[in-house]
Amino acid sequence: MNTGDKAPLFTLNDQNGNPVSLSDFANSRVVLYFYPKDNTPGCTRQACAFAASYDGFRKLGIPVIGISKDSVESHRKFAEKHALPFILLADPELEAIKAYGVWQEKKMYGKSVMGVVRTTFIIAPDGTVEKIMPKVKPDTNAAEILAELSEK
Active site residue ranges: 43
pLDDT bin (cut points 50, 70, 90) of residue 68 is very high
- Per-residue model confidence (pLDDT) at position 1: 86
Res 151: pLDDT = 81
Q: Does the pLDDT value for residue 135 go beyond 90? A: no
pTM for the model: 0.93
Query: How far is residue 26's CA from residue 40's CA, in Å, rounded to a whole number?
Result: 32
pLDDT digits (tens, 9 = 90+) for 83-107: 999 999 999 999 999 999 999 988 8
Hey, what CATH topology would domain 11-150 get?
Glutaredoxin (3.40.30)
Q: For position 136, what pLDDT does the model report? A: 86
